[in-house]
C-alpha cells in the first residue's frame, strides 16, 4: 500500500495546505511540523505560481508574496528535504503544470523522490493530459492525485478507477477560498466514486469551519483546508505557529467526533 493510502488507514484525515515560502521557507518548515503535531494526517505544500488560475484571492496573494520573497522550486526542494525526517505524515506538492514542465519532468520527479515527497496535485492537468508525466512521476515513487469536480458527472468513474493516492473531490464550482455554504451533492458523488474504487476520498475547496469539516468527514475519508490556514499565515506572518496549531487541533477534533 502506498504511504498516502496508509495515512487513511485509521480514521478520518485532516489535510492542511500552505504555500511554501510565505512568509519564508524557514517558517514553512516550522509550520509543517506544527501542522503535524496538531493532528494533520497529510500535508499539501504549494509551490507558488505566478498565475494560479484555480485559486481564489487568498492563495493567489500568498503565491505572489512567496515569489516576491525569492522562493524558487530549488529552494523548496531543499526545505522539504530538510524537514522530511522531522515529520512522518505523507507530503504532497500542489502546483501548476508549468513550473513542473519547465523544470523538466525527469529532473523534477527525481528531486521529489530525493526530497521525500509522496505525491503531487496539479489542478491544470486533467485526466486526459496526465500521461504527460504519470510514468515519470510513478517511476520515482510519486503518486499523481486526481481531482473530481461537481461538473465531472460521467467522467467520475474513469477518473476514480485510475486514481492514485487519494481522490481530491472539489466541493464547489469556481476557485479555492472559504465559503459559507456547500451545495454540491457530495454524498451522491462519493457513492459513485466508491462504486469503482477503494481509493480514499478527501474533500476540499471552501471548507473552513469545524461544523463544515464534521459534516464532510461523515461522508468522506479526509477534509482539505487551504485558504483558512493561508489566511492565518497572511495575518500573523512569522508568528502564526500558535494559531495554526490551535486551528488545526480544533478542525481535527471536529472530524473525529
Partner 1 sequence: MQKGRFGIHGGQYIPETLMNEIIHLEEQYEYYKNDPQFQAELEDLLKNYAGRPSLLYYAEKMTRDLGGAKIYLKREDLNHTGSHKINNVLGQCLLAKKMGKTRVIAETGAGQHGVATATAAALMGMECEIFMGKEDTERQALNVYRMELLGARVHAVTTGTMTLKDAVNEAMREWAGRVEDTHYVLGSVMGPHPFPTIVRDFQSVISKEAREQILEREGKLPAAVLACVGGGSNAMGMFYEFIPDESVKLIGCEAAGRGVDTLQNAATIANGSLGVFHGMKSYFCQDEYGQIAPVYSISAGLDYPGIGPEHAYLHDSGRAQYVPVTDDEAVDAFEYLARTEGIICAIESAHAVAYARKLAPAMRPDESMIICLSGRGDKDVAAIARYRGVKIYE
* Cell digits of residue 153: 458527472
Nearer to partner 1, 12 or 199 (CB): 199
Q: Is 196 in the site for partner 1 (CB under 8 A)?
A: no
**Which residue from 197, 198, 257, 208 is spatially nearest to 232, judged by alpha carbons?**
208
Nearer to partner 1, 87 or 144 (CB): 144
Q: Which residues of 153-181 are buried (b: 16+ CB within 10 A; e: fewer)?
A: eeebbebbeebbbbbbbbbbeebbbbbee
Determine the interface stretch with partner 1 among 33-41, 122-130, 221-229, 244-252 (rule: CB under 8 A).
122-130
| Contacts for 239 with CB less than 8 Å, ≥ 6 apart | none
Q: Please say whether the beta carbons of 91 and 43 come within 8 A.
A: yes
Q: Is 119 in the site for partner 1 (CB under 8 A)?
A: no
Q: Is 32 in the site for partner 1 (CB under 8 A)?
A: no
**Bridge partner list, 202:** 168, 222
Q: Which of 123, 165, 206, 241 binds partner 1 (CB under 8 A)?
A: 123
- Helix intervals (H) in 56-155: 57-68, 73-84, 97-103, 105-115, 134-139
Over the window 95 to 114, marking each residue x when it contacts partner 1 by CB under 8 A and - when it does not, the resulting string is: --xxxxxxx-----------
Task: Write down the residue that cell numbers 474504487 correspond to.
Answer: 197
Q: Is 220 in the site for partner 1 (CB under 8 A)?
A: no
Q: Please say whether the beta carbons of 221 and 166 come within 8 A.
A: yes
Q: Is 207 in the site for partner 1 (CB under 8 A)?
A: no
CB of 170 to partner 1, least distance (A): 6
Rounded-to-integer distance, Cα 132 and Cα 188, Å = 31
CB of 41 to partner 1, least distance (A): 23
Q: Which of 175, 232, 240, 244 binds partner 1 (CB under 8 A)?
A: 175
Over the window 225 to 254, marking each residue x when it contacts partner 1 by CB under 8 A and - when it does not, the resulting string is: ------------------------------
Determine the interface stretch with partner 1 among 13-21, 24-32, 169-177, 214-222 (rule: CB under 8 A).
169-177
**Which residue from 117, 169, 124, 123 is spatially nearest to 143, judged by alpha carbons?**
117
**Which residue from 202, 161, 175, 169 is spatially nearest to 42, judged by alpha carbons?**
202
* Cell digits of residue 12: 478520518
CB of 178 to partner 1, least distance (A): 14
Q: Which of 6, 26, 106, 129 binds partner 1 (CB under 8 A)?
A: 129
Size of interface with partner 1, in residues (CB under 8 A): 42
Instruction: Give the three-state DSSP class for 257.
Output: coil
Footprint of partner 1 on 138-167 (CB under 8 A): 146-155, 159
CB of 103 to partner 1, least distance (A): 7
Interface contacts to partner 1, rule CB under 8 A = 49-51, 53-54, 56-57, 60, 64, 67, 72-74, 97-103, 123-129, 146-155, 159, 170, 173-175
Amino acid at each position: 500500500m502506498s504511504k498516502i493510502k496508509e495515512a487513511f488507514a485509521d480514521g478520518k484525515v485532516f489535510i492542511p495546505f500552505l504555500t511554501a515560502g510565505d512568509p519564508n521557507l524557514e517558517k514553512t518548515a516550522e509550520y509543517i511540523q506544527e501542522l503535524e503535531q496538531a493532528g494533520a494526517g497529510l500535508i499539501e505544500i504549494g509551490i507558488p505560481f505566478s498565475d494560479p488560475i484555480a485559486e481564489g484571492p487568498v492563495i493567489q496573494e500568498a503565491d505572489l508574496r512567496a515569489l516576491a520573497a525569492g522562493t524558487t522550486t530549488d529552494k523548496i526542494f531543499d526545505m522539504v528535504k530538510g524537514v522530511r525526517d522531522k515529520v512522518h505524515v505523507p507530503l504532497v506538492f500542489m502546483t501548476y503544470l508549468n513550473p513542473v514542465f519547465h523544470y523538466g519532468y525527469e529532473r523534477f520527479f527525481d528531486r521529489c523522490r530525493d526530497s521525500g515527497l509522496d505525491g503531487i496535485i496539479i489542478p491544470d492537468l486533467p485526466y486526459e493530459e496526465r500521461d504527460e508525466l504519470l510514468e515519470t512521476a510513478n517511476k520515482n515513487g510519486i503518486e499523481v492525485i486526481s481531482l473530481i469536480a461537481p461538473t465531472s458527472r460521467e467522467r467520475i468513474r474513469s477518473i476514480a478507477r485510475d486514481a492514485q493516492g487519494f481522490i481530491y473531490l472539489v466541493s464547489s464550482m469556481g476557485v479555492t477560498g472559504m465559503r459559507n455554504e456547500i451545495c454540491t451533492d457530495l454524498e451522491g458523488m462519493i457513492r459513485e466514486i466508491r462504486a469503482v474504487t477503494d481509493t480514499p476520498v478527501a474533500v476540499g475547496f471552501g471548507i473552513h469551519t469545524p461544523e463544515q469539516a464534521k459534516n464532510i468527514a461523515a461522508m468522506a475519508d479526509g477534509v482539505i483546508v487551504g485558504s483558512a490556514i493561508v489566511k492565518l499565515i497572511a495575518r500573523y506572518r512569522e508568528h502564526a505557529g500558535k494559531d495554526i496549531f490551535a486551528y488545526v487541533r480544533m478542525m481535527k477534533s471536529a472530524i473525529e467526533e
